[in-house]
Amino acid sequence: MRLVLVGTSHHHAPVELRERVAFDRDASRAIAEQLGSAVCLSTCNRTELYVEAEDADEAERLAVEVLDELEPTLYRLRDHAAALHLFRVAAGLDSLVPGEGEILGQVRAAHDAGTPGPLLDRVFRHALHAGRKVRAQTAIGESPASVSSAAAALAEQVFGDLAGCRVVLVGAGKVSGQAARNLRSRGAVVALAANSKTDRGQLEAELAHADVVVSSTSAPGYVLDAPTVERARRGRRLLLIDLAVPRDLDPAIHELDGCYLYDIDDLQAIVAETLAGRRNEAERAEAIVSAEAEKFHEWQASLEIVPAIASLRALAEEIREQELAKAEGMLGRLDESQRRAVESITAQIVNKLLHLPTVRLKQAAAAADGVIYADAVRHLFGLGEDER
């Protein structure tokens, strides 16, 4: 079986493209079922399809069809490269904010909602293990930066001092809650925590007194458009931060005088400022992830080699037993102790003959030519020919 990954992320596509393939849990589950043995990982920063299949080319083609409108921005990885990428994602090393802890739960949720076969199940469980190991053995997640804390830092940059600033939160989920805590810790006052269904009149009334709007909902369309904001703010300077994918806030708001709109991609510059202090920890995390990915690679490669080794040993044991049966006429004159000695000697001969080939086959399993070695052994010893 082969592991195939097709996806896009904040490294390759801006938010206006990513929002086209932002799938909720139900949609992700439906896509996984459509692809067979698959997992759909869809977050604010990425949408990735992991597929397990015998035919890697066909699996990749079907995955590309799902993400067809983003085709120019898609990356395609297979086997070891795909596993390494997933391990880095789970460890937070490929996130907008390196080291952020939310992605580990998102990877787990995607796995739970998917339809993984044995290979895909193994790689996701191993990725979750790698992510937990990175967080336990490095300080990359200490004083964690997040999209929400970056939003609060941006507000502080704009206003200088957030003491007394009135904030309107749109969205009642986890991201909004984190944003509220970060803003309050800097002295801001959360005047209204709304959702996409909050009375429009109430929301517009509060915009007339707001300094900052932070929006993060799962609404399919814009929660606030430019005419509404222009009418409601009554000339006040307004900072708007859109943390949603798909976006909540009409991009045209940025064209209004006195309105400053930032989306999730705009936070990259703020995030970059947090990297310097995390660089050494990130290097340690990369080493852990690489080692875990190599373990998975060796396991996957062994799937081709182990059956060949088992078949070779089974054949050798069958031949040994057949030859002992032919010599039964002479062996019948031996006492029990002597018969055990003959059994032991012949078994040792088989083991010694097969020891070095077994070691070499296992070594080859981690190399690119491991499958060739396995096929050569099957051909030389006629393994499986009776079944065919």
Cα–Cα separations (whole angstroms), residue 89 to 46, 120, 175: 10, 15, 19
Residue among 300, 307, 304, 302 nearest 383 (CA): 307
User: Which residue is catalytic, options 40, 44, 165, 259?
Assistant: 44
Q: Amino acid identity, residue 352?
A: K
Q: Amino acid identity, residue 231?
A: R
CA distance 296 to 383: 27
Residue among 197, 201, 206 nearest 236 (CA): 206
For the chain, the first-to-last Cα distance in angstroms comes to 21
142 class by beta-carbon count within 10 Å (0-12 exposed, 13-18 middle, 19+ buried):
exposed
Question: Are the CB atoms for 73 and 13 separated by under 8 Å?
Answer: yes
> Among all chains, which residue has been given the structure tokens 């900052």?
212
Question: Are the CB atoms for 165 and 199 separated by under 8 Å?
Answer: no
Neighbours of 192 (CB within 10 A): 18
Q: Does an H or E element contain 52, and which?
A: strand 46-53
Question: Are the CB atoms for 82 and 4 separated by under 8 Å?
Answer: yes
Residues found in the chain: 388
- Quick check: is 259 catalytic? no
Tokens of 234: 């009554």
Distance of CA 198 to the CA centre of its chain: 34
Tokens of 119: 């290979």
CA distance 174 to 176: 5
Q: Amino acid identity, residue 301?
A: A
Q: Could you give the residue numbers annotated as active site?
A: 44
